[in-house]
Structure 1
């Protein structure tokens, strides 16, 4: 495909713009894209890590921390791999599995935002095999809510949920016996 501007060089950059539901596509060579001001897309400093940091609002978090009163303390650091939280923000990935625990307090609010407010990854389940998985997930959720009801001493509601759990477990057993 040739560049839509010069019609000479091959188009290496493809831009899609959606404005008020109207989709516009632009196919440009690198030279024309730079001339049209699309050079920000060609910036060598741009990376997926920068994109994620921007999306997760790390930059604002760091700026706010810099504006806060200065209290001398050790930088937050993973004990296993010695990665600091500042390094994590710049790199965009953890150094080891222990970093999840080391930076837990800083990461949980971000995960809650990403995962619709609850911090737990819900994911997608294929529909043809999802029936049993959905039942198990439902049962697990009900078991958590029954524990909350018991701690609040709402035993009648807890009994109702217990009955729902039993019903779902029967459905699950029937499904497993049927081979689904």
Structure 2
């Protein structure tokens, strides 16, 4: 792909901006990106810590994007790491940081992963029982929904499927 600015060099910086649902893409060479400013400068200037800081809603000063806070900064009691320091480095100071920052981590993880529960791939060898348990969990959820909607005939069918799956899991 050729640079959209100069039309001569290959584009090495690819930037997508979405504002109010309108998507704009920029494809620039390093020279043109450098002339455009910091937003398009070399990718080596952009680290995973910058990404994490953005996801944590922090600006460069370590305050929330909503403005400076008057409350005491969140701090781990064990190692003394503040949430602001964590957002800049992207690393915890100790194992207790997970507990200390849990209130702010849950929404962050949900925003990043879309869910708070891991639902990745299942290994082939041990996958049978895990898949059955997952199917059982889904059926129980459907059963609750059918009962709530007073669809008792369909709920009875689901109940029977659940009993059958529970037997299969017990035998395996």
TM-score of the superposition, structure 2-length normalised?
0.58
1:51 is displaced (CA, Å) by 1.5
1:114 aligns with 2:116: no
Describe the SS at the equivalent of 2:14: strand
Paired position in structure 2 for 1:66:
68
1:135 is displaced (CA, Å) by 1.5
1:103 is displaced (CA, Å) by 0.6
Distance in 2, matches of 1:134 and 1:76, equals: 40
Paired position in structure 1 for 2:130:
133
Paired position in structure 1 for 2:52:
52
Say how many residue pairs are matched. 154
Paired position in structure 2 for 1:90:
88
1:13 aligns with 2:12: yes
Describe the SS at the equivalent of 2:107: helix
1:101 is displaced (CA, Å) by 0.7
Distance in 2, matches of 1:32 and 1:64, equals: 33
Deviations 1:110-137 (A, max 9, x none): 2233343x52232344689744322223
Q: 1:15 to 1:115 in 2, by over 3 A?
A: closer
Gaps (5+ residues) in structure 2? 145-151
Gaps (5+ residues) in structure 1? 149-155
Paired position in structure 2 for 1:152:
none
Q: 1:80 to 1:12 in 2, by over 3 A?
A: farther
Paired position in structure 1 for 2:148:
none
